[in-house]
Amino acid sequence: MIIFDLKCAQGHPFEGWFEDHKDLQSQLKRGLVACPVCGSEKVERVPSTFAIAKGARSQPDQEMAAKLLGRSVKRYFLENFDNVGPQFAKEALKMHYGASQPRNIRGVSTPEEEKMLKQEGIEFFKVGPMEAEDQAQEGGGEDDD
Ligand SMILES: [Zn+2]
């Protein structure tokens, strides 16, 4: 089973358990996945955001991750981590093997890449779907379009 980060047409982020990527696609196609907040069946996958902090090997990165997960430090995270997007796994490998300077990076990666990075012994952490969270701001009340 794999957890995929999903969001509905209204931007509500949620997670769903699926056998694999194929299972996700087929369930989405058949309208079997609905948003738990508003019930919308217009659901799409959000690539997970991952990050590596410079010097993570020598520092307790669990603590760092916990800090970064807090909403108040999201700005810090956005400003101090280079967004490498889908190049995340590649950049992480380069830093791991000394092909590029260690630095703070963030980006998205597939479950396959995530597995590969773990096998390589690379320390990174999952941040969650940042963009979806940005849209799902509180307040507003129940406006039904
Ligand atoms: Zn929704």
pLDDT in tens, 73-104: 567 777 888 889 889 999 999 998 888 888 99
Q: Tell me the CA–centroid distance for residue 87 and ligand 1, in Å.
A: 29
pLDDT at 37: 92
pLDDT at 92: 92
Q: Tell me the CA–centroid distance for residue 14 and ligand 1, in Å.
A: 9
Quote the distance between the C-alpha of residue 87 and its chain's center.
14
DSSP state of 47: P
Q: Tell me the CA–centroid distance for residue 142 and ligand 1, in Å.
A: 12
pLDDT in tens, 96-130: 888 888 899 998 888 889 899 999 998 887 776 65
Q: Tell me the CA–centroid distance for residue 104 and ligand 1, in Å.
A: 32
Residue for token pair 């307040």: 139
pLDDT in tens, 28-49: 999 999 999 999 999 998 876 7
pTM: 0.47
Q: Tell me the CA–centroid distance for residue 37 and ligand 1, in Å.
A: 5
Q: Are 127 and 67 in contact (CB under 8 A)?
A: no
